[in-house]
Amino acid sequence: MHLARKIICIIALCSFAAAAIAGCGGTQQTANSNAPPAPAPRLGAAPPPPGNLSSNLPHDADFSDNPSTLDQIQHDFDVFSWQSFVALNWPALADGSPDTSKIIGADGDNSTVWESYKESYEVFLPDGSTPLPWGQNQLPAACQGVAGSTAKVLRMTQKVSDEVLDELSQPFNTGPIVDQQNGKYARFEIRLNQDAFNFIVNNTLYNKQGQQAFTQFIQFPSGVAPTPTNPNTPVGAMLIKAAWKVIDPANGDIPGRYHTVQAYVYTQASDNPPTKESCQLVTMGLVGFHIAHKTQSAPQWVWSTFEQVDNVQPGAGLPPGAKLNFFNPACATCPVNVPPPKPWDPYQTLPPDKRSQIKRVIPIDDATKALNAQWQGWLKAVNPNSVWQYYELVSTQWPTQPSASLTGPNPTGSPAPPFLANTTLETYVQGKVPNVSSSCIMCHNNATTTNSKFSDFTYLLERAQSKGGGK
């Protein structure tokens, strides 16, 4: 059974990496489905990666093991999550496509595929104009003078910025999280893959007027698993949300346990709380990672969520005495899962007793833990110093009734698990209260365009501004 799944994985998924990444624009590499794993090896190609590690981004979960129970289907989706995580974090070439001559984590850390995806601020521009084409990036003006060459911009200090709703609608602007090591606010970003970006651009959904003019029911493209007869299938829309924290060894951070980048930390000007605009170059480490992928088997999208292993509990191999990211075991009196006091000033360094004290409310399932150990083992086998072994899947949410009508009474398709939260992304809405506690599908089911049309489970379209910048 296990073997079967593995073989299918290779056939079904691996051949489509090129299409997935080079994407729906330029030359699509048509793969022969019977071909051995993956694109042609480059010169100096590395030995085959351990286990199921692959640069190939899955287009949908693989059900060739014919799952018949909830747990079995969950397993298939969890495998899909890990495959996606590894492929998205695969070493990237300059154009953002995966460098198949390399293996994830072989150098410890690496630049990644998804970090070349379009950041939401590049898509929903203040004047509602057409975004720059795929592959061309744009820096906020405030960052253009700042020394440094990386182009990653982290702007949000909580998941809501002032003038627009962010990806996870914050029912109460729920608040920032502050790391234990540095007392600094975590930062967030949302990126769109090319299928998602193209759908928005081709239908002019990046401004209010375009949304007004678009009268169809909004349906982002779905990923379709290739078959021998239909090898050339779409990846489907993907949205990636990432949470980052400041990494400073002087304050006890251990950089080797995080995927780190030099990022422009951009702070938008705001009236409430009063905040000045700025842009600084800071070393940031990845602590939370959310993948939403619309697929044929999941019109409600598949929601995979990963965390750095030291967020709220010590991960494997954390040296004794080292700090956790968002929990201080020594503080018995610190209020748990409560946002820092207002005013929420992104520039402040909070004193130790005001830093986030976050607990995971719903524990990670045992089956998922076992799967994590397996994939972490493969990642470690590449290189014992790989940063990627320090990430874990929290769970994958998927619709148990995917055929539910999206205009009917139960469009969410009864998600499993019913609740799912990332401690860095849905910190203050963890729990099991229907319609309030974090459930990716339930919450995103409320997402609309700027003119209140159902926006297919993404809040991004609410960010569209008026063409020309007017009201």
Partner 1 sequence: MSAQKNYDVVIVGAGIAGAIAAYKLAQAGKSVLILDGGAEVPPDRSAYMEKFYLSMAKTPESPYPNDADDPRPLVLDINTWKDRPPTGYFVQNGPLPFASTYERVAGGTTWHWMGTSLRLLPNDFRIQSMYGHGVDWPYDYNELQPWYGRAEWEIGVAANVADQEYHGLTFSDPNDPSKPYNYPMPGILQAYLDTQLAAKIGNLTIEGQQITVSPTPQARNSIPFDSRRVCAGNTNCIPICPIQAKYDATIHIAKAQNLGVDVWYKTVVYSLSVDKTSGLISSVNYKQYDDPSGPATGEGSVSAGLYIMAAHAIETPKILLNSATNELPNGVANSSTQVGKNLMDHPVQLSWALMTDPLYPFRGPLSTSGIESLRDGDFRKQHAPFRMEIGNEGWNWANNDPWNSVNEFIAAGQFGSTLKSNLNSLFIRQFRFGSLIEQMPLETNCIVPSKQYTDNLGIPRPEISYDLDDYTKAGFADARDVAVQLFDVMGATDHTTVDPANSAAFTYQGQTYILNGAGHVMGTYRMGADRTQFVLDANQQSYDHSNLFMLGSGVFPSVGTANPTLTIAATTLKVVDYIIRSVLK
Partner 2 sequence: MSSDPDLTNFVGLSAVLTGYTTDQLFPPISPEPVAVEYLNTLKANVAATLVNQILTTFQNIAAQQPPNIDQEVQQQILDDPAMGPVARNIIRMWYLSIWYDLNQQQPITGFSAGTVVSMNAYTKGLAWDAAQAHPMGYSEMHYGYWATPPES
Binding positions for partner 1, rule: CB under 8 A: 160, 162, 164-165, 169-175, 272-274, 337-339, 342-344, 428-429, 431, 433-437, 445-448, 450-452, 462
From the list partner 1, partner 2, none, partner contacted by residue 170 (C-beta under 5 to 8 A by kind): partner 1
Q: How far is CA 450 from the centre of its chain?
A: 23
Look up residue 127 and give its two tokens: 């004047």
* CA 180 – CA 357 distance, rounded (Å): 8
The string of DSSP codes covering 294-335 is EETTEEEEEEEEEEETTSSSPPTTPPTTPPPSS--TT-SSSP
- The distance of closest approach from Cβ of residue 8 to partner 2 in the complex, given in angstroms and rounded to an integer, is 21
Contact between 66 and partner 2 by CB under 8 A: the answer reads no
Residue (373 or 433) nearer to partner 1, CB: 433
Q: Of these, 442, 460, 461, 464, which contacts partner 2 (CB under 8 A)?
A: 442
CB atoms within 10 A of CB 374: 14
Residue 377's CB: how many other CB atoms inside 10 A? 12
* Alpha-carbon gap, residue 98 to 114, rounded angstroms: 10
Amino acid 36 reads P
Instruction: Pick one of partner 2, partner 1, none as the site partner of residue 431 (Cβ within 5 to 8 A by kind).
Output: partner 1
Figure out which of the listed residues 130, 227, 262, 410 binds partner 2, where binding follows CB under 8 A.
Answer: 410
Tell the smallest beta-carbon distance from residue 171 to partner 1 (Å).
5
- Binding of partner 2 by 432 (CB under 8 A): yes
Quick one: which segment of 8-16, 233-241, 302-310, 400-408 binds partner 2 (CB under 8 A)?
400-408
- The listed partner (partner 1, partner 2, none) that binds 450, CB under 5 to 8 Å by sort, is partner 1
CB of 438 to partner 2, least distance (A): 15
**Strand-pair category, 278-295 with 274-275:** unpaired
Q: Given the complex with partner 1, which of 248 and 345 has the nearer CB atom?
A: 345
Residue corresponding to tokens 């990644």:
112
Residue with tokens 């330029």: 26
What distances in angstroms separate CA 184 from CA 62, 250, 261, one per listed residue?
Answer: 40, 14, 16
Kindly state the smallest distance separating residue 436's Cβ from partner 2, in Å: 10
The CB-side HSE value for 239 (13 A sphere, CA atoms) comes to 26
Q: Which residues bind partner 2 (CB under 8 A)?
A: 69-70, 73, 400-401, 405, 407-412, 414-418, 432-435, 442, 445-446, 448, 452-454
